[in-house]
Structure 1
Amino acid sequence: MSNKEAYEQKLQAKLDELQAEVDKLKARAKSAEADARIDREEEIDRLEAKREEMRAKLKELRDSSDDAWDDIKAGAERAWDSLSQSLEKARSRFK
């Protein structure tokens, strides 16, 4: 397995884990009071938008040539960092 393939699998696994976290946050949002639920749902929407950006980066990475994937990897790392920060922010707001 190449480094590129291993990295793709790692990102996919992280995205799968993140989806499980988003599902948990959605369940918590449903049980919140009306005003809090609106805020939480907006936070989830922002998180899902960032997740979609990450999925697009993963697709771009998968579609890239072996020579170009290092450049795309850097962008994927930045997108993942942003997504991780958004998840942490959402988790802290849902306590």
Structure 2
Amino acid sequence: MSSKELYEQTKQTQLNEWKTGMILFRTRSFAARTNVQVELNQHVKMLESKLEEGRCKLAELNKTTGSNFESTKKSFEETWESIVTAFEDASVKFKATA
């Protein structure tokens, strides 16, 4: 397995784990009180959007070859960091309502 394939596989695994986490967040938001539920649902929708963006960027990265890989990887890493931050922020919000 090439380093590119290993990198992509690692990132895909993390996206899958985040998707599972997002499903847990969605379940918690449905169980929350009504006034909190609206805010939590907004976080879930934002996370869904971020995950879709990450999935698209990973697919784009998967299609690149040669020297284009490094520039595409840099763009992917920026997106990745925004996903990490979004999940960290959402985790804090959901823990606060638990």
TM-score (norm 2): 0.92
**TM-superposed deviation, 1:35:** 1.4
In structure 2, the residue corresponding to 1:89 is in which secondary structure?
helix
TM-score (norm 1): 0.95
Query: Counterparts in 2 of 1:1-95, with a 5 A limit?
Result: 1-95=1-95
Asked if the contact 1:4–1:66 (Cα under 8 Å) also holds between the matched residues in 2, the reply is no
Root mean square deviation, CA, Å: 0.8
Q: Which ranges in structure 2 are unaligned for 5 or more consecutive residues? A: none
The CA distance in 1 between the partners of 2:79 and 2:3, in whole Å, is: 19
Asked if the contact 1:40–1:94 (Cα under 8 Å) also holds between the matched residues in 2, the reply is yes
The CA distance in 2 between the partners of 1:14 and 1:64, in whole Å, is: 20
Number of matched pairs? 95
- Moved beyond 3 Å, runs of 4+: none
**TM-superposed deviation, 1:8:** 0.7
Q: Give the residue type in structure 2 aligned to 1:89.
A: D
**TM-superposed deviation, 1:76:** 1.0
Between the aligned residues of both structures, percent identity stands at 32
In structure 2, the residue corresponding to 1:22 is in which secondary structure?
helix
